[in-house]
């Protein structure tokens, strides 16, 4: 159905106020918008890996999750836990133990540490086994819950507690892992990368597609962290907008192998516009380190050009 922001914000929320997430964090509004993509009449089972979102939203006996069946699971097995729940549900429904008049959707949620690193094996296995589930990764680029240690999603040259910027090193020495491309390689029916910028249209529509596409689907969501990145809480939307306008975080989808870039900036900004908003990159603006910004710019430009090429190639094949 067509996106309507008034209708969307008036839908009942499955993730409500009262959680302990930090002000200015990108995860809560992203997850709230994703769950609003559920039809009001549908049930949902949520498998949430340990991490910022879990420890801050479910402190027994208090919870910010409403009108869903919620499972807190370990870092490494959110996808495995959910695939087991989905398999049991399918069997019970087949045996007539669950009525057929209700639709239940299965959604796993994890941060980048619990998804790109610790949980990658169970995620890959669930996708390969073709479970009818949606996996959502809220990516804040480090292990924020335990002290801002680097993850494989931490950007190149970012300063973290385990990849510190100083005399010996200049932040993380490796480029970030691209999990969206890894999931595309699993030949899933729907994979998307999104961010909570502008009027929430992009993230809402992609969540709707992911949840209601049959089979395993994956959603990677940009989730800024004021504590780990070092920005004022009121700058959340600025950070989100700069990430997509610099193509640091391109927003696109791959549906049955066909690429579609859902936002192309009219004027692609240099990556330093994004970097200078955050303390984790402040060392890059020292005179002796400015060549590192140029290196990062080349990486981003190469990935953006490749994305444009993949969109052109796959759409050409689709239209032949």
Q: Where are the domains of the chain?
A: 5-319
Residue with tokens 């809402």, as numbered in its chain: 204
DSSP 4-62: -HHHHHHSPPSB-S---PPTT-SHHHHHHHHHHTS-TT-EEEEEEESSHHHHHHEETTE
Tell me the mean pLDDT in the region 36-48: 96
pLDDT value of residue 100: 78
Tell me the mean pLDDT in the region 226-231: 98
pLDDT tens for each residue of 200-227 = 899 999 999 999 999 999 999 999 999 9
Longest dimension (CA), the chain: 69
pLDDT tens for each residue of 100-115 = 778 999 999 999 999 9
pLDDT value of residue 120: 98
What mean pLDDT, rounded, does the chain reach? 95
Tell me the mean pLDDT in the region 130-147: 97
Q: At the topology level of CATH, where does 5-319 sit?
A: Rossmann fold (3.40.50)
- Is the preceding omega at residue 35 within 30 degrees of 0, hence cis? no
Tell me which long-range contacts 252-255 makes (C-beta under 8 A, separation of at least 24): 252/192, 252/193, 252/307, 252/311, 253/190, 253/191, 253/192, 253/193, 253/206, 253/209, 254/184, 254/190, 254/191, 254/192, 254/314, 255/189, 255/190, 255/209
């Amino acid at each position: 159905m067509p996106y309507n922001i008034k209708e969307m914000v008036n839908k009942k929320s499955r993730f409500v106020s009262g959680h302990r997430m930090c002000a200015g964090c990108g995860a809560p509004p992203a997850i709230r918008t994703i769950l609003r993509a559920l039809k009001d009449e549908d049930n949902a089972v949520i498998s949430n890996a340990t991490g910022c979102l879990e420890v801050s939203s479910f402190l027994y006996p208090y919870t910010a999750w409403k009108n869903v069946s919620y499972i807190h699971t370990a870092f490494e097995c959110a996808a495995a836990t959910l695939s087991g729940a989905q398999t049991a549900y399918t069997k019970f429904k087949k045996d007539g133990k669950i009525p057929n008049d209700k639709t239940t959707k299965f959604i796993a949620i994890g941060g980048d540490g619990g998804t790109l690193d610790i949980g990658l094996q169970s995620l890959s296995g669930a996708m390969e086994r073709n479970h009818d589930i949606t996996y959502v990764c809220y990516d804040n680029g480090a292990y924020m819950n335990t002290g801002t240690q680097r993850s494989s999603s931490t950007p190149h040259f970012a300063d973290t507690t385990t990849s510190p910027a100083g005399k010996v090193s200049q932040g993380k020495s490796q480029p970030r892992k691209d999990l969206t491309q890894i999931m595309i390689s699993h030949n899933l029916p729907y994979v998307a990368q999104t961010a909570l910028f502008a009027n929430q249209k992009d993230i809402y529509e992609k969540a709707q597609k992911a949840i209601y596409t049959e089979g395993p689907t994956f959603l990677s969501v940009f989730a800024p962290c004021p504590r780990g990145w070092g920005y004022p809480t009121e700058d959340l939307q600025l950070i989100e907008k700069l990430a997509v306008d610099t193509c640091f975080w391109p927003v696109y989808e791959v549906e049955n192998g066909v690429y579609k870039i859902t936002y192309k900036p009219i004027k692609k900004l240099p990556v330093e516009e994004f970097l200078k908003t955050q303390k984790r990159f402040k060392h890059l603006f020292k005179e002796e380190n400015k060549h590192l910004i140029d290196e990062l710019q080349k990486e981003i430009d190469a990935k953006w050009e490749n994305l444009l090429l993949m969109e052109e190639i796959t759409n050409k094949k689709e239209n032949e």
